[in-house]
Structure 1
Amino acid sequence: MAKALLGHVGGPDPRMVAEMRRLQRRVRDLEAELVRLQEENEALTSSEVMHSVKDREPALT
Structure 2
Amino acid sequence: MAKALLGHVGGPDPRMVAEMRRLQQRVRDLEAELVRLQAENEALAAGAPHEDVLALEVKDREPALT
Query: Per the shorter chain, which TM-score range?
Result: 0.5 to 0.7
Are 1:25 and 2:43 matched, yes or no? no
- Structure 2: which 5+ runs fail to align? 45-54
Aligned length: 56
Higher relative contact order (CA 8 A, sep 6+): 1
How far apart are 1:8 and its partner, in Å? 4.5
Q: CA deviation at 1:10?
A: 1.1
- CA change 1:25–1:7 in 2 (3 A) is farther
1:25/1:60 CA distance change after superposition, 3 Å: closer
Shift in alpha-carbon separation, 1:6–1:54, aligned structure 2, 3 A: farther
Tell which deviates more after alignment, 25-34 or 2-11: 2-11
User: What TM-score comes out, normalization by structure 1 length?
Assistant: 0.60
Q: Percent identity?
A: 91
Unmatched runs of 5 consecutive residues or more in structure 1: 45-49
TM-score (ref. length: structure 2) = 0.56
